[in-house]
Amino acid sequence: MVLRQVAEGVLIHQSEFCQSNAVVVHGRAGVLLIDPGVLGHEMACLANDLSDSGQTVVAGFSTHPHWDHLLWHARLGSAPRYGTARCAATARVRLSEPGWNARIAGLLPPDIAGQVPLDLLGLITGLPAETARIPWDGPQVRIIEHQAHAPGHAALLIEEPGVLFAGDMLSDVLIPMLDLNDTADPIEDYLAALRLLEGVAGDVDVLVPGHGSIGGADQVRARIDQDRAYVHALRDAGVPGDLRVGPSATFGKDWLPGVHERQLQHLARRSERDGTPG
């Protein structure tokens, strides 16, 4: 059994890859599966666990158009897989580019490259813009769309029992990774997204990040504050006192500091080009 219950009717499965969390929500006729996972054998195992407990997947959802959130496994069945309109449109454009397969394969860390099934990658149905909730027969799942980490990124609030699945926001192991390609003001976009999540913090009992560990209600504001401090430090070209990229960090030691450096350099080039400080 790989599934772990984090709240009534809400279970997660954590991948060996980058502490990625897949979320299963029990509905009346089957389950909603959010960001299914990364490695083929893990998704197959998840499919087994679901069928052993008599469950089928009746809907899927991808929080954003990055490869590790767009995967699917044939054994999970052919339920509609949703995302925001911008998420689906972005995935569609990338998949229509010649050579996308090789390009994604090039993004995969070499140690897992052969284990990630790409044939069903990104086959997402976009929900109309401003759709408030995922259309399915189960607990209400509110879509909190924002521009910060990726185009059309959505956090999801399972309203009862108060579980926030934050996608690639509010991680305890990953620093904020800004969308530096698709946006005019990545810093302000990120801060606006944090304010949006802060607006629902009072409704959250359990926080599940796309990568990292589960937190309780107190973790929502703590992680928002931590991420905001990091983004402010990026904006001010300061050195963040952020433990996730500090000397005591245990996760991603060999690559996360590089992500931080590249974000700093990109923002410095951008402000030079725009002729604006910060």
| Contact residues for Zn ion, defined by CB under 5 A | 66, 168
Q: Of all residues in this chain, which one has the CB nearest to Zn ion in the complex?
A: 66
- In angstroms, rounded to a whole number, what is the distance separating the alpha carbons of residues 71 and 41? 13
In the bound complex, what is the minimum distance in angstroms from residue 182's beta carbon to Zn ion?
Answer: 13
Cβ proximity to Zn ion: between 58 and 174 the closer is 174
The answer to whether the peptide bond before residue 161 is cis (omega within 30 degrees of 0) is yes
- In angstroms, rounded to a whole number, what is the distance separating the alpha carbons of residues 207 and 101? 33
Cβ proximity to Zn ion: between 66 and 81 the closer is 66
- In angstroms, rounded to a whole number, what is the distance separating the alpha carbons of residues 224 and 238? 19
Cβ proximity to Zn ion: between 31 and 187 the closer is 187
Cβ proximity to Zn ion: between 139 and 210 the closer is 210
Contact yes or no for 14/57 (Cβ under 8 A): no
Cβ proximity to Zn ion: between 176 and 240 the closer is 176
In the bound complex, what is the minimum distance in angstroms from residue 35's beta carbon to Zn ion?
Answer: 10
In the bound complex, what is the minimum distance in angstroms from residue 278's beta carbon to Zn ion?
Answer: 25
In the bound complex, what is the minimum distance in angstroms from residue 205's beta carbon to Zn ion?
Answer: 25
Sheet strands (E) in 180-272: 206-208, 215-216
Contact yes or no for 23/63 (Cβ under 8 A): no
Neighbours of 53 (CB within 10 A): 12
In the bound complex, what is the minimum distance in angstroms from residue 180's beta carbon to Zn ion?
Answer: 13
Report the run of H or E that residue 142 belongs to, with start and end: strand 141-146
Contact yes or no for 29/58 (Cβ under 8 A): yes
